[in-house]
A and B are shown apart, each in its own frame.
Chain A
């Protein structure tokens, strides 16, 4: 799997364990995992856009598009949102983890 700039802030262990224990076919598990990957990406981008001054939105989105793996994106966010942005993304990701676990367990 190729990296995205926020991967190190997202802990998906519980989700992966829960899905791996499901009895359904591997293809269906793969589909669920792909959707979950999309949800983290969309949820984290939405969260960052809420925090980031709108005048920086274009630059940030273009950088994500051009260099999706680049750790410098985090440096950019630290500069324009604040030094605690990594903790903030981590918290947002944990919230998404809980929502996904609920979706998978209901």
Chain B
């Protein structure tokens, strides 16, 4: 297999980012401050957008001259026309393909969904991957609490939606990082964008527990809200919810916020698909398409 140059460059860029982060965190004020704030430009830009939108300033600031600054997308960007058309394609077609209640889809129906989502988001998705499939492809998701990312992690150290609280126990797959020194951008994003699936009700879970736990833990998934087309790439961070809740899935506060399911009953029907990403190229977080 030919060597992937950009992949190598990304590894170097990650090292450079880590080196700057360490430099900043040697500063006592910054160390204290960045326990509650973010060191990710993407998050800060999102926040900037929310503040400006709230103040009705986006238009005026965007109109200000910003010399020599080219457009710099933080995710895959497409012209606005294309954004609307891809989302509209998914929204229009999904309504016809999928049932509007919790269900597992298979056969032609599954192929149609995979094709529709993969082609319009550029994210290869599967209803069944490596012979594994969930009991539900469509189901209700609930608003979960934050999870402990490493031993000693506290709610105060989570930078967003602290009102969601922190689950008292660990997720079914344990901590995201083995300790605070191992905590990185990768594990930060994994907790920010995690989902919950009912691995515990898989037919062969009790028999093949060890292999299945390894396969499902932190597995990358795509969650789509079929009502608005909003989609988030996340990882499986916990097992559940219990059958009696009437829900089939769960999602982190940030994921639910992006899906626009964080208001009212904080529950909604979603599509849950495996991301076929053996080389780990698909970034976690909201999908811009």
Contacts and interface: CB of A to CB of B under 8 A. Distances in A.
B4 interface: yes
A106 B10 CA distance: 11
A63 to B, nearest CB: 11
Contacts of A29: 6, 76
Which applies to chain B's interface (DSSP): helix, strand, loop or mixed? helix
Nearest to A25: B281
Interface stretch (B63-71, B81-89, B141-149, B168-176): B63-71
B244 to A, nearest CB: 39
Counting contact residues on chain B (CB < 8 A from A), the size range is: 35 or more
Nearest to B6: A24
20 contacts: A1-B74, A4-B48, A30-B283, A31-B10, A33-B74, A34-B283, A36-B13, A38-B42, A41-B39, A42-B17, A42-B39, A49-B27, A61-B37, A62-B33, A64-B44, A68-B44, A68-B45, A69-B52, A106-B8, A106-B12
Given A27-B283, A69-B52, A104-B9, A34 B123 contact: no
Nearest to A71: B64
Counting contact residues on chain A (CB < 8 A from B), the size range is: 35 or more
Contacts of B62: 3
Contacts of A34: 41-42, 74-75, 283
Contact of B37 (A38, A57, A65, A106): A65
B128 to A, nearest CB: 22
A64 to B, nearest CB: 8
A52 to B, nearest CB: 10
B30 A28 contact: no
